Amino acid sequence: MTKRVFSGIQPSGHIHIGNYIGAIRNWLGNLESRDNIFCVVDQHAITVDYDPDALRQGTRDAVALYIACGLDPEKCRLFVQSHIPEHTELAWLLTCVTPMGWLERMTQFKDKAGAKRERIGTGLFTYPTLMAADILLYQTHEVPVGDDQKQHVELTRDIAERFNRKFGEVFVIPEPVIPVVGARIMGFDDPTAKMSKSAPGHHHSVGLLDDPAKARKTIMRAVTDSQQGIVFDPARAGLFNLLSIYQVLTGQGREQIEAHFAGKGYGDLKKEVAEVVIAEIEPIQQRYRELIADSTYIDAVLARSVEKLRPVADATMDAVRRAMGHR
Ligand code: ATP
Ligand code: LTN
């Protein structure tokens, strides 16, 4: 049986090399061997303050960027979450089987809500049940994500198991798939914080659509330390981050990389990291510019995916509604 893969990215800002290395690159690796579904999760992007016009534009940009990165619509199904309304229907049903205590343990909520806890929308708190619905609606086996989403996929497993125990075997239990290297790319301006779309700071991240000159400048300014020697030492967070990016994008081993940089300084390393990052993003940018100009093509890709996904979503919802007593 071909395993089904589901994953998604929020269109909440510019997709950066952390998203690319932690998620998209690993989706590309299984394009031939799995049944792949990739989603632009536009309903997740409304859990924080946002601008509707920017969301509309960001959603289309993200679809074009997925394709530009190599997610061939002939080999996977690319779609926009809000185009299949059952995501939110299932989310509500799952919310009713998810204990408050489970959601209260989610570290991302604690980080994102912070001091604004009393004022933010309830959706930021219940959002992991929408993510669980995304995954469970398609009877997913594998969920390739970065390290920060592991807890949410584990919660999804717990919710599915609880549902199956209470209402009968309806859901496949999914597994998180986390990359060995690059699962948590850190901000260039602060290597103690995860690179994030929503983080402020002009030199925090490199976006896949950033101008190469800006990308180079951000990497050259990356915060490191005052020690000597270019070695993979997790305690030297800024250096470790640069080396990890270099490792993933060149495909070289750690020993080979350390030997290559022996006797060299941070300036040399940053210059070479900038070169490999720019070499990776330039062809993506070129394909993106061609794609974004052709809106009929993007619309056709999205419509075709919905047509193919609808029977899968219908079958799951039919089983869920029956199991829960709504039919
Ligand atoms: P936001 O700041 O809007 O929450 P984000 O940058 O955290 O955005 P998401 O849309 O939440 O991005 O994440 C999409 C995918 O990219 C997820 O699989 C997530 O685990 C992965 N990802 C996000 N940030 C990183 C990172 N810094 N390193 C590796 N993977 C990441
Ligand atoms: N919550 C994820 C994005 C996301 C997702 C999903 C990832 C929403 N639904 C389903 C994998 C599977 C995030 O990165 N913030």
Mean pLDDT within 19-29: 97
Please state the domain extents for the chain.
4-183+294-323, 212-289
Distance 219 CA to ligand 2 centre (A): 27
Phi and psi for 270 in degrees, rounded to 5? -60, -40
In this structure, CATH architecture of domain 212-289:
Orthogonal Bundle (1.10)
Opening angle at CA 4, ends 174 and 301, nearest 5: 130
**Ligand 2-lining residues (CB < 6 angstroms):** 6-8, 10, 41, 44, 131, 134-135, 143, 145, 149, 152
Q: Is the pLDDT of residue 111 over 90?
A: no
- Give every CB contact of residue 82 below 8 A, 6+ residues apart in sequence: 42, 43
Atom of ligand 1 nearest to the CA of 145: 18
Overall pTM surpassing 0.75 (yes/no): yes
- DSSP 3-state of 175: strand
Q: Is the pLDDT of residue 27 over 90?
A: yes
Q: Is the pLDDT of residue 184 over 90?
A: yes
Query: Among residues 75, 116, 150, 194, which one is catalytic?
Result: 194
- pLDDT category of residue 162 using cuts at 50, 70 and 90: very high
Q: Is the pLDDT of residue 244 over 90?
A: yes
- DSSP 3-state of 103: helix
| 197 in catalytic set | yes
Distance 8 CA to ligand 2 centre (A): 5
Ligand of minimum distance to the alpha carbon of 156: 2
| CATH number given to 4-183+294-323 | 3.40.50.620
- DSSP 3-state of 9: strand
Q: Is the pLDDT of residue 201 over 90?
A: no
| 75 in catalytic set | no
